[in-house]
Amino acid sequence: EDQVTQSPEALRLQEGESSSLNCSYTVSGLRGLFWYRQDPGKGPEFLFTLYSAGEEKEKERLKATLTKKESFLHITAPKPEDSATYLCAVQVGAGGTSYGKLTFGQGTILTVHP
């Protein structure tokens, strides 16, 4: 069974204090790894898709990286508006009953204090 584990469960940072969130996965036939941001009471907002080990993507203060077993979301000099829950998800081989299904981790709740 596909498994996605995120750590830490919660992370408190001071504004400007850089850190990383971890997403480790155990799947058969990874097709893509996704990062989403979710604000309270709202739907997840797409950030990145990573397809192969060694790939990196950046957006503003966020940088996502992928290895064969895990992904990291690096947050550089965070601001209070970066406070949210960050979700990692995997998509495995399409076809059969899998198709577009994403398997999500439990998320990391990030709080950035001014």
Partner 1 sequence: DSGVTQTPKHLITATGQRVTLRCSPRSGDLSVYWYQQSLDQGLQFLIQYYNGEERAKGNILERFSAQQFPDLHSELNLSSLELGDSALYFCASGKGTVSFYGYTFGSGTRLTVV
Residues of this chain that interact with partner 1 (CB under 8 A) are 31-32, 34, 36, 41-49, 51, 87, 89, 91, 94, 97-107
Q: Residue 24: helix, strand or coil by DSSP?
A: strand
Both tokens of residue 67? 């290895």
Distance between CA atoms of residues 57 and 10, nearest Å: 23
Q: Which one, 100 or 114, has the nearer CB to partner 1?
A: 100
| Least separation in angstroms between CB 54 and partner 1 | 17
**Of 96, 100, 105, 111, the residue nearest 36 (C-alpha):** 105
Nearer to partner 1, 15 or 58 (CB): 58
Smaller CB separation from partner 1, 78 or 91: 91
User: What is the closest distance, in whole angstroms, from the C-beta atom of residue 112 to partner 1 in the complex?
Assistant: 22
In three-state secondary structure terms, 36 is strand
